[in-house]
Amino acid sequence: MAHDDAYHWPPELLELLIELVPRLSRSKDGVLEFLRGAGVSEELLAVHRQQLAADRTTISKYKIVRAVLSQINEQGDAGLQVRRELLKRAIEFEDFSTLWPDDRLPAQGLQANVRSLVNVKDSFTRMNQARDDERAARLAARTAETERLARRHAEFAALRGRLADLFNELDPRKRGTALEGVLNDVFKTEGILIRESFILRNEDGQVAEQIDGALEKDGSQYLVEIKWRGKPVEINAMSRHLVRVYGRSEVRALFISASGFTGPAIKESERALNQRVIILGELRELVLLLEQEGDAAHWLREKVRIAQLDRRPLAVLGTDF
């Protein structure tokens, strides 16, 4: 039901109320009291009381109701509470036995029509509200996604800058440690659980193992090793990492090298695939991932898939992730 938002009652509802309200009271004074009880100000009713006092025959119940209801309907938001109370009283009126006999059936019919019209209006209001809520939810979702992408873009830009700075670092140990931090933050952007580098000691307090890091994704644990040396990773370094992996039930291996891997090191990891999932990665993959602002979780899943199905621990991914 379309109507000006400044009006609580559309014309058809106003006309029904103008016909109904006078019938709910036997006298003109009763009509004024009905209106006053609904909250209509005495200021609006005063002129009608004066007319009744001067000559009761000059004004009817219907003229009183039409004048008052039209006035409060034009008050906009200021008359909202009174309009609601008047409508409530008209709809909830029950004792039709107190009315003039000729008014009882018409009043009941008019009341039913008012109720029906109000129900239709309320249904449209609810539908409009539901549409507004849905529209607001979509807008909020789009806004949240836009903000998330903006934050993600800023995070990747910062990570690219950090990685670029590492190429100027001459100390291999500092460079490797800093690379661990970059890699950890790349995975964190996708909600992957990270445990940063940690040390395990024996009963004497001596260092037993030094782990570059660990991560958890899709219910699997990965022991991470990162190397940024001048030469490819050799079989000895690969074997040491695999021993640490074998010492942990169901743990997988993720080994990332900035300088690649020797053939024997790759062969050793291929043999290890019979027992564990072994993933080898190269720094250039990380560079591409950051440049393309790709999904690190998808990158890891694809590496796992290739290792498990194709028995290739080293598959350098580029544009396909």
Give the chain's mean pLDDT: 87
pLDDT digits (tens, 9 = 90+) for 74-108: 888 888 889 989 999 999 999 999 999 999 999 99
- pLDDT bin (cut points 50, 70, 90) of residue 5 is very low
pLDDT digits (tens, 9 = 90+) for 7-46: 578 889 999 999 999 999 999 999 999 999 999 999 999 9
The predicted structure's pLDDT at residue 2 = 40
- pLDDT bin (cut points 50, 70, 90) of residue 175 is confident
For range 65-82, the mean pLDDT: 90
Q: Map out the domains of the chain as residue ranges.
A: 11-129, 172-309
Tokens of 175: 């460079």
In the chain, the N- to C-terminal Cα span, in Å, equals 53
For range 125-150, the mean pLDDT: 84
Tokens of 295: 């999904």
Domain spanning 172-309: which CATH class is it, in words?
alpha beta
Tokens of 199: 């040390």
State pTM to two decimals. Answer: 0.56
